[in-house]
Chains A and B, each alone.
Chain A
Amino acid sequence: MQKAERLLDLAAFLLRAAEPVSWREIQEQFPEDYGGSSGEAAIRKFERDKAELLELGIPVRYLAGDEDLSAGYLVDKEDFYLPDLTLPPEDLALLYLAGSAALAQQAFPYARDLAHALNKLSFAARAPGASEVAASATLHLSADEAAGPEEGEAARKLELASQAVAARKRMHILYAGAERRARTERDLDPYGLFQQGGAWFVVGWCHLRRALRTFHLGRILSLDVNGAAPRTPDFPVPKDFALAEFATREPWEYRVHEPIRCRVRLDSPVSPEARESFGARARWEESPDGAVVEVEATNSEALVRQVLSLGDRAELLSPRKLRLRAQALLETLARRSR
């Protein structure tokens, strides 16, 4: 029997059963699949099928049995069937909008799962109305920018990386570094994925550098996931690993040098966008003619760029060395643009 068919037959069988079904009975009902040859091989095959059913959302359990109930396998219906959902309309809208907006991006981890999730959501919520219309609108919005081959490739890499993250499987990547333009091959234990400025990054333990490293998915030229023993993790994720530390890091917070305190003046009115661009850890002092923002930089070159991008409405105040660096950059640019 074909595997897909066998899995569904097995699910239907266990769903219909009122009591746990013994291994012997399963063998009798599926003689071609679990009968025959050695008992060991049949059990292993059944265990693999059980694991696949679980991955599809069908929880098959073994019950040890007691005086009233014989031992065996069953699907807990309460734990299988998607329940109905009553959510306030704005919460439902949030889920629909978030899900469809994520799908409308060129790449999102677990994009396939997300599509299934939205279908299940509409089933569970019964009468989604406005929210579902809004969700389909989001998908329309990016249909016109249909993914070219490059975007398709990016989406596939992200999908593979997200599978590796979920299953904790080691990846082997060919990476094009930005600074040294050399390509390097390395093994990577992927701990997590994050998005910044519309691009996706994978963070993990780099076996080449023997350190935690962040990789831009767009610069991963090829990616292979260890296919051996797909359900056995290759590595643990350290308890103290915190993805947010990487994901919310501003460029001037990358660890390049010892921390230095920097002050920047911004002229009034300071736009919310400009304010936000200094990140969550910035400290602000307001004054009638503007504001002074203080940040701690461990990659001061990036802070110089951040301030320059705000044009003549912003000025690096201190430290003096950084201020001179900004001025020197501007002198060069001014000479060039004359």
Chain B
Amino acid sequence: MAARAPTAKVDSRDRLRRVLFLVPYAVRHPGTRVGDLARKCGVSEKQILEDLDFLLGVGCPPFAPDDFLDLYVEGDRVHVALHQSFSRPPRFTESEAAALAAAARALGGEGKERVIRTLRDLVPRDRRAMFDELLNRIYAGSPPAKDSLLGRVQRAIAERRVLELRYYTATRDQETDRVVHPYTVAQRLGHWYLYGFDSARRRALPFRLDRVRECAVTDSRFDPPAESEMARARLFSDAQGTPVRIRLGPLAAAWALARPGRWQVLKRDPKGGALVELPGVSDEWATRFALSLGGEAEVLAPPSARRHYAEAVKGTLARYRKSMRRNA
């Protein structure tokens, strides 16, 4: 069964919201390209041309010739002759501001309360109470451990400053010093990543923010990445190596498979359990994951992952037995 959405209503509303931005944008950027407008609005060029057509019929009583919106396309460039007071977009609606504020709260950083106040001021006066209420009803996750780290990373991104990181690599269990041009941050699967160019490794890489041990903003600046470089950007490297195979009991399967992840389910058993494979995870991760499901999961393959898991179980059990004897 599918979630039902009232499509027709959404389309007309979407168009209105789009044109309320599109007209002022074209006023401010005379000769902007149809393609740019389409990219900005996240729709096709055809849709933009249809919007422009629609706008030609919009005007203001008494509907004399000069009372209509007048936009025209020359080549592929858009010009506005008459904007009929639509010279700036409307203020933020409470849900626009609240969505952005909730996202900012989840990202954290020193400026978060300040930007939330700014967003509130951008909402029309009598909708601000609604903004406050809505913001209290969305929680997009807690920010990565250290707020101050994020503040520094944000500043570095904004000012294009090179970062010096001390970074913990879980798969090798070691810390290394990295010199990074920070491009952006992204949250996936419950973790925050800094994505940037690693000078020593000569390529752009993701760094998990909770594994950054130290972070210094330097005085040297870097050039922004080219569009073509970003087009190749990946947060997760293509899964390499043999996938890890895990058996999940019925309860663990119901829980785990409802979480975001790149599972491949090989087999479901009638009781609800599952045999799954996960590409590109370390042996250590697989062990931790299986153990976090109590007795409900087991790492099966490849041999290295199986060994790592079995040894962790053995080692931990030995620890409990030992202190049991000590206390006996």
Contact = CB atoms under 8 A, between A and B. Distances in A.
B199 interface: no
Contacts of B111: 88, 90-91, 94
Contacts, number: 395
B140 interface: yes
Interface stretch (A8-16, A36-44, A65-73, A205-213): A8-16
B38 to A, nearest CB: 13
Interface stretch (A103-111, A253-261, A281-289, A290-298): A103-111
Contacts of A106: 260
Give the secondary structure class of A's interface: helix
Given A101-B186, A109-B102, A87 B60 contact: no
Given A98-B104, A178-B255, A195 B139 contact: yes
A319 interface: no
Given A137-B195, A334-B313, A337-B313, A102 B3 contact: no
A141 B155 contact: no
A130 B323 CA distance: 56
Interface in B14-62: 14-17, 19-21, 24-25, 28, 40-42, 54-55, 57-62
Contacts of B231: 140
Contacts of A312: 312, 315-316, 318-319
A337 B310 contact: yes
Contact of A82 (B109, B122, B314): B122
Contact of A178 (B89, B110, B254, B288): B254
B139 A333 contact: no
A112 B154 contact: no
A56 B17 contact: yes
A276 B210 contact: yes
Nearest to A55: B93
Nearest to A13: B60
Interface in B182-205: 183-192, 195
B61 A334 contact: no
Interface residues of A, number: 133
B289 interface: yes
Of the listed residues A112, A176, A243, A326, the one surrounded by the most CB atoms of chain B closer than 10 A to its CB is A112
B58 A5 contact: yes
A115 interface: yes
B139 A194 contact: yes
A124 B127 CA distance: 19
7 contacts: A15-B86, A80-B91, A116-B21, A123-B89, A136-B230, A166-B95, A331-B317
Given A120-B21, A315-B319, 16 more contacts: A12-B69, A56-B90, A57-B91, A79-B125, A80-B90, A97-B157, A104-B188, A108-B103, A109-B138, A109-B140, A110-B95, A119-B41, A131-B158, A181-B254, A199-B259, A218-B259
